[in-house]
Structure 1
């Protein structure tokens, strides 16, 4: 890959804004380390630019893989370039005007980020989760990972001097900062706070149709002219709950939703489980939003495990990272056509 990255860690520091969800701090979860030299600044720069342009590389981690390949293919298709999935010379030339989106920025930790509040411990079993007031982040590092479209392990690798979260600490993080936070006034305040916490840009293209393609595990957003304007890596279906092929419509969205857990609808549920209403939160089964479809029991939603997108199975629904599905919600509206194909 040709050199696109600018020196990591530069730029003005920014203050973080936290969303309170629980009354007390929580201990940090264990972060599986990765080597700092495993992160390629040039790859991260390309990922950051694609993320800003709406061709999501999934988790921004400075490493090449299937999600970056898919994002590059989407960008190349949208720009009329040869679709290679590689950062070739034509693609780098098309990305060059956006080099001002530097690969990393510095973030200053504030008191709210330290305090949370957080949900720790976070039980795995739905009946136990139902007893909690919220399925929030386990700790500040997990919240920071989602905010900057990455993982705690990547943040730790970008900060080899240490990531002990304390007020005033400066961390190097991927540059997912939006160009605007002017979210529509029609949104409830808690949803605007969620968009803000996930660094979702308020400026988004309008989609006329979405196409979910099983062959390459992506969700495409098309405008009125049929032009590809955004693309997201997605998890869709399994051998037990296949993707429901056909043409559907988006009915609406449930922001920061509760989740009605019905074990009868899940092939892998514990036979002793009973129905339960799970509280909202980014670590809930459907993440921060449920986009309802005309196909009963099916929707497009977030996930508590962004690193698994495109690499795992679902119960038939379409699963995106929390930040990607939140962004998608700004592109579509009730009545938007949804085509599911192989």
Structure 2
């Protein structure tokens, strides 16, 4: 009797979760996203919303990254909004003021666009399965994407779930088919250069400052780990290396890695440091990408500074050899 009741209860819970997910997806239509506007209340909530998608895209375009665009107005979106307000010299809060919204929507282009799948998109090659352990990765020839959906989601800075929601019934199998994606392309060619980078170890953020100490870009990050804490003070950029080979050093004794010998993992977006490595002037430390964009600022980074792959690429375009990187222990 108890076992049967448990099955019934489980079925009800699963049905409830599916109904909630379906309801959220139903709201995320192109028309609803295009028309979404703030209503003066605090931005909050773990459920995707049309406003969440629009706000995240607008912030991403302005170089104030919310991390993975998923429509959820969580901590990363709040951090990006606060930083954008700071850059615009406006009061920071969890609400979107009329003045702040006017600044963001000065880029009046639609936040969604149509994209035609190419043969390169759908043909791969793709990994059949990404190993869970580092030791199992070292024998692979490359650490590529595991699916068309993963590759497209990263290309457009969005979650796989949002990609699926915007394209109901689409299997992403045929070149030439049109799909709906978010449009994060900047309004103009990017010519900015950072005079310094600031890594806030407490807030788990990265800021880029230009001339006259102007805040020009922001990124949520994962900074450091218990087993290998991030450094303090000022380091400098020593290298910018796209598609890096990852070298494991057994001296660090990372959790889950049993090997006592050095080994290498081939390049690719699913490499442990993603597809970008920005080396710093302390051995073994750097700013890098990740194969898990949804976990940025939510999981440890073995002492380095982890960003989404696309944000790591953007920072790489802002810095050069010698750019100072300040590690801040407490909020300024």
Which interval holds the TM-score relative to the shorter structure? 0.7 to 0.9
5+ residue gaps in structure 1? Answer: 11-36, 181-201
Matching residue within 298, 313, 320 for 2:307: 320
User: Does the CA contact (< 8 Å) of 1:302 and 1:322 recur in 2?
Assistant: yes
Q: Are positions 1:287 and 2:296 aligned together?
A: no
Matching residue within 108, 118, 122 for 2:116: 108
- Taking structure 1 as reference, are residues 8 and 109 closer, same or farther at Cα in structure 2, changes over 3 Å only? farther
Q: Secondary structure at the match of 1:277?
A: strand
User: Does the CA contact (< 8 Å) of 2:209 and 2:216 recur in 1?
Assistant: yes
Give 1 or 2: higher helix fraction.
2
The separation in 1 between residues aligned to 2:240 and 2:118, in whole angstroms, is 32
Q: Are positions 1:7 and 2:31 aligned together?
A: yes
Alignment of 1:71-90 (within 5 A): 71-90=80-99
The separation in 1 between residues aligned to 2:30 and 2:212, in whole angstroms, is 36
Pairwise CA distance, 1:267: 3.0
- Taking structure 1 as reference, are residues 267 and 114 closer, same or farther at Cα in structure 2, changes over 3 Å only? closer
The separation in 2 between residues aligned to 1:232 and 1:125, in whole angstroms, is 27
Pairwise CA distance, 1:86: 2.6
Q: Which residue of 2 aligns with 1:136?
A: 144
User: Does the CA contact (< 8 Å) of 1:299 and 1:317 recur in 2?
Assistant: yes
Matching residue within 67, 70, 89 for 2:76: 67
Q: Which residue of 1 aligns with 2:158?
A: 150
The separation in 2 between residues aligned to 1:319 and 1:43, in whole angstroms, is 23
Matching residue within 214, 235, 239 for 1:248: 235
Normalization by structure 1: what TM-score? 0.80
Pairwise CA distance, 1:255: 1.4
Pairwise CA distance, 1:75: 0.5
The separation in 1 between residues aligned to 2:160 and 2:78, in whole angstroms, is 23
Q: Which residue of 1 aligns with 2:43?
A: none
- Taking structure 1 as reference, are residues 310 and 204 closer, same or farther at Cα in structure 2, changes over 3 Å only? farther
Pairwise CA distance, 1:179: 5.1
Which one is further off, 37-46 or 246-255? Answer: 37-46
Q: Are positions 1:58 and 2:70 aligned together?
A: no
What root-mean-square deviation, in Å, do the aligned CA atoms of Structure 1 and Structure 2 show? Answer: 2.0
The separation in 2 between residues aligned to 1:210 and 1:316, in whole angstroms, is 17
Normalization by structure 2: what TM-score? 0.82
After TM superposition, the runs of 4+ consecutive aligned structure 1 residues lying more than 4 A away are none
User: Does the CA contact (< 8 Å) of 1:127 and 1:274 recur in 2?
Assistant: no
Matching residue within 144, 153, 176 for 2:184: 176
Pairwise CA distance, 1:294: 0.6
Pairwise CA distance, 1:279: 0.3
5+ residue gaps in structure 2? Answer: 1-28, 35-45
Q: Which residue of 2 aligns with 1:237?
A: 224
The separation in 1 between residues aligned to 2:117 and 2:301, in whole angstroms, is 35
Alignment of 1:156-235 (within 5 A): 156-178=164-186, 203-235=190-222
Which one is further off, 113-122 or 270-279? Answer: 270-279
The separation in 2 between residues aligned to 1:305 and 1:103, in whole angstroms, is 24
Alignment of 1:295-310 (within 5 A): 295-310=282-297
Q: Which residue of 2 aligns with 1:13?
A: none
Q: Which residue of 1 aligns with 2:58?
A: 49
- What is the aligned length? 290
Pairwise CA distance, 1:224: 2.5
The separation in 1 between residues aligned to 2:184 and 2:165, in whole angstroms, is 17
Which deviations, in whole Å up to 9, do the C-alpha atoms of 1:250-309 show, x marking residues without a partner? 111111110111232133143345321110000001111110101111000000000000
Pairwise CA distance, 1:163: 3.2
The separation in 2 between residues aligned to 1:6 and 1:121, in whole angstroms, is 33
